Amino acid sequence: MRDRALDGAAILSGLCARETFFALDIGTEADDLIERLNFVEEAASALSDGERERVRALVKFSAGIWPSVEEISARHERMGILEDKIAKFSAADGKRLVAIGECGLDHHWNPAGADGRSADDFDSEMLRGEEELFEMQLQLASSLDLPVIVHSREAFDGTVSALRNMDSHRGIIHCYSYGIDEARVFLDLGYHIAFGGAVTYAKKSRIEEMAALLRFVPDDRILIETDSPYLAPVPFRGQVNTPILVEYVYNFVASARSVTPSALSATVDGNISKLFRL
């Protein structure tokens, strides 16, 4: 744990040195919010007084439940825990909780992968439970007047169906992995599109297709993210990702959009300010 805190301190110091505007620590488990806050505080304790103040200003948090089999199966209990953790966190430091999620649907079946997802585990009852867990978190985001961070992988139709049932459409399609037609639907609903390191993985035969997608998302809806510790951008693909490497994603996306990385950064910062009401 101490080694992790030191690694975290190095990352936080790097963000401060780069004058980073915003960093979001995203939740994936019902009960991890306080633990994540404590980890950031421990890592920041190794920094200078000025850096610690800067970290408190730039690092915000979300709270959500990623759709694992375990969380889906115990969804009502886990939602109760999530709401309790949010209430306690908000009572102590409400301004640092800025979103619900990540939450959503994932139908990418790869039992050998890090997520261990197997189609055999997802019968009709489990699929409906996954939808219900997602819908409960969408309702929670609406009730708290917070944006939602949507995880959607190989589950476009189900994701859109759930989102269309909501009156509020404020949030992010996280680590976007669909095409232009799907992006148009999400944008028409009112969502932002966030691109991570995976956009740098496009094969030569699909480079122009990826560039067209990156150009398609309008200036007022585009976001850039890391999904750390996953999806490290080229030339670090396969390695542990950190927020420091997001500059490679900015460089790639800026090139596709024919703007400078600094101009893209200013655009994204503006979108973040509006979305999270900073």
Q: What is the pLDDT of residue 174?
A: 97
Q: Alpha-carbon torsion 152, 156, 158, 163, what sign?
A: positive
Residue 15 resides in a domain: no
pTM to 2 decimals?
Answer: 0.94
Angle between helix axes 124-144 and 75-93 (nearest 10 degrees) is: 20
Phi, psi of 149 (to 5 degrees): -100, 110
Q: Are 194 and 176 in contact (CB under 8 A)?
A: yes
Q: Are 73 and 129 in contact (CB under 8 A)?
A: yes
Residue 3 resides in a domain: no
Q: What is the pLDDT of residue 1?
A: 39
Residue 40 resides in a domain: no
As given in the structure block, the two tokens for residue 235 are 């030339």
Q: What is the pLDDT of residue 92?
A: 83
Residue 39 resides in a domain: no
**CATH value at residue 70:** 3.20.20.140
Q: What is the pLDDT of residue 177?
A: 96
**Residue 230 to residues 13, 47, 78: CA-CA distances in angstroms?**
21, 25, 25
Q: Which regions of the chain does DSSP assign to beta strands (E)?
A: 23-25, 59-63, 97-106, 148-153, 171-174, 192-195, 222-224
| Number of residues written out for the chain | 278
Please report which residue ranges of 59-123 form alpha helices under DSSP H.
Answer: 69-73, 75-93
Q: What is the pLDDT of residue 94?
A: 74
Below-70 pLDDT ranges, the chain: 1-6
Closest by Cα among 255, 5, 276 to 141: 276
Quickly list DSSP for 85-102: HHHHHHHHHGGGEEEEEE
**Domain limits at 97?**
21-31+59-275
As given in the structure block, the two tokens for residue 278 are 């900073």
Helices (H) and strands (E) in the chain, counts: 11, 7
Domain count, the chain: 1
Residue 262: burial class (beta carbons within 10 Å; 0-12, 13-18, 19+): exposed
Residue 41 resides in a domain: no
Residue 78 resides in a domain: yes
Q: Are 29 and 71 in contact (CB under 8 A)?
A: yes
Residue 146 resides in a domain: yes
Sheet containing 192-195: order of strands: 23-25, 59-63, 97-106, 148-153, 171-174, 192-195, 222-224
**Residue 38 to residues 63, 248, 251: CA-CA distances in angstroms?**
14, 29, 32
Residue 76 resides in a domain: yes
Q: What is the pLDDT of residue 2?
A: 42
Q: What is the pLDDT of residue 37?
A: 93
